[in-house]
């Protein structure tokens, strides 16, 4: 089995480079993919590793750099909407 330097509960900083099909942000560190729920494309974020596998890890955000908008709903989070993008969502 390959040994990775990422450990559960470790806090790391990474840049969200892609968005997965299920709406999670994707970053990479030490050759390992890290999925971050609610991560936004292009943002640099500090995350806590919550689960580690051989090829990928899962993480939760602990700190955002710059202004951070909260998702409106889980669905809107999955498609990348925020209050800034859809301020009048009642008309949707």
The model's pLDDT over 7-54, given as tens digits with 9 standing for 90+, comes to 899 999 999 999 998 889 999 998 899 999 888 888 898 999 999 988
**According to the model, what pLDDT value does residue 86 have?**
45
In a domain, 85, yes or no: no
Does residue 62 belong to any structural domain of this protein? yes
Query: Pseudo-torsion of CA 25, 30, 31, 37, nearest 10°?
Result: -20
**Does residue 56 form part of some domain?**
yes
Tokens of 49: 């590793």
Instruction: Examine residue 33 and state whether it is found in any structural domain, yes or no.
Output: yes
Domain span holding position 34? 11-67
Q: Is residue 90 in a domain?
A: no
Query: Can you give the pLDDT at residue 61?
Result: 87
Asked if residue 46 belongs to a domain, the reply is yes
CATH code of the domain in which 59 resides = 2.40.50.140
Task: Specify whether the CB–CB gap between 36 and 71 falls below 8 A.
Answer: no
Number of domains, the chain: 1
Q: Looking at residue 79, what is its pLDDT? A: 59
Tell me the pTM.
0.66
Q: What is the pLDDT of residue 68?
A: 54
Whether 3 maps to a domain, the answer reads no
Instruction: Please give the Cα distance from 23 to 75 (Å, whole number).
Output: 9
Which pLDDT value is given to residue 78?
60
């Amino acid at each position: 089995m390959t040994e990775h330097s990422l450990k559960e509960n470790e806090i790391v900083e990474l840049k969200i480079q892609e968005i997965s099909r299920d709406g999670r942000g994707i970053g990479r560190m030490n050759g390992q993919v890290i999925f971050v729920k609610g991560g936004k494309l292009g943002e640099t974020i500090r995350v806590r590793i919550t689960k580690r596998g051989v090829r990928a890890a899962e993480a939760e955000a602990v700190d955002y750099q710059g202004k951070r908008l909260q998702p409106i709903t889980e669905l809107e989070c999955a498609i990348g909407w925020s209050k800034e993008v859809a301020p009048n969502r009642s008309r949707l």
